[in-house]
Amino acid sequence: MREVAVDKAIYLVDDSNRTYSFLRRNPNWSKLSPSQNTKNKQSLNGYIRHLRGGGTKVFKLSKNLYRCPECGLHYENEEIAKQCEAWCSEHKSCNLEITRFSVEAASDQGLSQ
């Protein structure tokens, strides 16, 4: 078992079963370099996450994601990522009308189903 930091989370990874589970929030997420974050994501590509509700989710590494450097959220659309960055920089907060398009928000919606 090993711990892997990806964005704002730390996962417990079982390489023998190719599974991972949420362990805790990553308090040092802003110090995680983009290259290390990408490397960590690549190490989880194809692994299965067991969700609290009994479902599963396969980690899929998407090469076309854009990251807001201010808050760390990811977007499939570059323009929305730029809007997020502009809002975060100016207001030092996130805008729910923007962040609802993030990959992380889509993932959280999947957890609540």
Mean pLDDT, each 10-residue run in order, the chain (113 residues): 93 93 92 86 88 83 81 90 96 95 72 35
Amino acid sitting at position 105: A
What's the confidence (pLDDT) of residue 55? 83
7: left (phi over 0), alpha (psi -120 to 50) or beta: left
The pTM for the full model equals 0.55
Sorted by where each begins, the domain ranges of the chain are: 1-61, 63-113
